[in-house]
Structure 1
């Protein structure tokens, strides 16, 4: 059995102040590329992880993917009281800690395959509880399940009382308060510069501890922008308003902190993309992936992206929104 998952852009966390009794909240977009393609078959014992084109995979991808598959498989097997083993083959992959949500997609993909091969069709939010994903943002879990443009409502303080990233949180995935189809004719250009990968692990935990709570007036400004400009722009296919919202978000709340912790080239890349005509440009999650949204001048933006990473190297991916979740191929 094979599963193909999307990736996602995480536009911003919403409320890292918590005065009203909830924290986190997130906004994101499911995208077609890059994607994850994972195949699984049962074996007598053990958990084996193979790469169909291992020569093209870096050591950090091999190590990270192997560990996450093994961990999530053991968790789902324990939860379902399953014995035996599984062999996994990864046909397509993308780098961990790049801001595209590979950890959640990979963990859910492995768990979904094991559950389906044992005649258990478990929804993504329940799988996420089992494998320990979605403790801060629900964007990756909903991207796996349904795709599209997503807003989640964060966590009540009784469930999650401190500001922590998903990797250090045991909270359940948050409720989805809005999910819309994202305009398919809007083009999305990803720029993944070859710089230090996004803040993760202990550094990510420290970022939350050192910079939270975010000042209330910043959270209020952000939520006003989301409710009265960004979300309506998706429903009305208003690219100019959407792009302006994305640009403003980069300088508000926790996203402002995330940007400050990056290599200076990240800010320059965003500027280059906007100067080339992108309606909006931002950084996904903790980066280093930068994204731009446009409708007509795709090649100009790609050229600007190439110029921006000339000195550091990197990858440019042309993609678009995906308004459906992961796909099983039996």
Structure 2
């Protein structure tokens, strides 16, 4: 909002406990960040206002009600549509709708297999899709590993949503300014944590 540095939270609903994400990682690289990300935003044109309004309309009137009603098909359809639109907008900066061509290929295959809710986390390269149950997600991930066994840079994991708000942990700075919770040189936050997900074992 105009009066806050951080936009106010308008709505937050729990994900159904049985829903799962299949995540597709590309170990070869990361998405834009730092100065490269700032440069991309400076060169991209403004996002079309009419398209922003269309996405907001679909999220408010279809995605959020579908989430409350546990309607995965409708919810996933809106996510795919929104991700395609935003991916196309950022394609000039990231080389296509997805940052990683291999992740793009894996998700196109998953969609042909019936997966829904297809998209990319932030600048990628991690991609995702939704499954209705843990078993469905595990089977999809197993088939993906078999299908893309010739691309060792790809990794497939199953994750569940973290149905809780953001948490901030204050740690003492030691050893030249590194926090105790991040003592490894060059360490970065887990992609699962950044995406608000938790790796699933069931």
- TM-score, with structure 1 as normaliser: 0.44
Give the Å deviation of 1:256.
2.6
Q: Give the number of the structure whose residues are more often strand, by fraction.
A: 1
C-alpha distance after superposition, 1:14-46 (max 9, x if no partner): xxxxxxxxxxxxxxxxxxxxxxxxxxxxxxxxx
Give the Å deviation of 1:247.
1.2
C-alpha distance after superposition, 1:278-327 (max 9, x if no partner): 12211011111111111142234203432347325133221111212449
* Aligned residue number for residue 160 of structure 2: 320
C-alpha distance after superposition, 1:142-199 (max 9, x if no partner): xxxxxxxxxxxxx43x77xxxxxxxxxxxx3221010111111111111111232011
Whether 2:102 is the aligned partner of 1:265: answer: yes
Match of 1:289 among 97, 108, 126: 126
* Aligned residue number for residue 137 of structure 2: 298
Which segment is superposed worse, 201-210 or 283-292?
201-210
Equivalent residue runs for 1:117-196 within 5 Å: 155-156=1-2, 172-196=5-29
- TM-score, with structure 2 as normaliser: 0.70
Rate the CA distance shift 1:206–1:305 in 2: closer, same or farther, 3 A: farther
Question: Secondary structure of the equivalent of 1:318?
Answer: strand
Q: What is the rounded CA distance, in whole Å, between the counterparts of 2:108 and 2:143 in structure 1?
A: 10
* Aligned residue number for residue 256 of structure 1: 88
Whether 2:72 is the aligned partner of 1:207: answer: no
Equivalent residue runs for 1:50-129 within 5 Å: none
RMSD, aligned CA: 2.3
Rate the CA distance shift 1:309–1:281 in 2: closer, same or farther, 3 A: farther
Rate the CA distance shift 1:200–1:235 in 2: closer, same or farther, 3 A: same
Give the Å deviation of 1:276.
2.1
Q: What is the rounded CA distance, in whole Å, between the counterparts of 2:116 and 2:28 in structure 1?
A: 25
* Aligned residue number for residue 64 of structure 2: 231
Structure 2 unpaired stretches of 5+: 170-202
Q: What is the rounded CA distance, in whole Å, between the counterparts of 1:268 and 1:281 in structure 2?
A: 12
Kept in 2, the 8 Å contact 1:250–1:259? The answer is no
Rate the CA distance shift 1:217–1:301 in 2: closer, same or farther, 3 A: same
* Aligned residue number for residue 49 of structure 2: 216
Q: What is the rounded CA distance, in whole Å, between the counterparts of 1:309 and 1:273 in structure 2?
A: 15
Rate the CA distance shift 1:213–1:324 in 2: closer, same or farther, 3 A: same
